[in-house]
Structure 1
Amino acid sequence: MSVGLPFSFAGMFILIAFVGITINVISLFGMIIVVGILVDDAIVVGENIFAHYERGKPALNAAIDGAFEMLPPVFTSVFTTII
């Protein structure tokens, strides 16, 4: 999550400049939604990693297994919000 927010906002500002969209109430509301999605997804993935770690897996394996296990639900969640 720590790099997710800066990269998302940097990409958004680059895209806005490239396309020529102005920053208005609608785009600010979209930014707030993106922050909420990023924070929620980071919490969900972090909790799953911690659950794997509590089951006795080494930290690296817990991180890899927990993140890959949550990839489909997180992707689906973000994708349905975009559409």
Structure 2
Amino acid sequence: MARRAHPDKDIEAALTYAESQGWRVLPGGAHCWGKMYCPWNDKTCRCGEFCISCIWGTPRSARNHARLIRRVVDKCSLDATTAVRH
């Protein structure tokens, strides 16, 4: 089953990019629209700082939040070309 789309087009595009890189996007949460999970779930991956990221439903700046989502994905210490899934 496909996840529901984020209401903001910039954030939805960033989430689609994250999913194309192997990240899981799960809608729902207490104070956020959803969460994004690193596909590698490695203890050494930036001390877990970027392994889970919150996705806000109504951020102050949707464009900046979308840029942050892409940055988290791009700065992951493990990438699809060098890492082995656990």
> Shorter-chain TM-score: which interval?
0.3 to 0.5
Query: TM-score, normalised on structure 2?
Result: 0.31
Considering fraction of residues, name the structure with more strand: 2
TM-score, normalising length: structure 1: 0.32
Structure richer in helix, relative to its length: 1
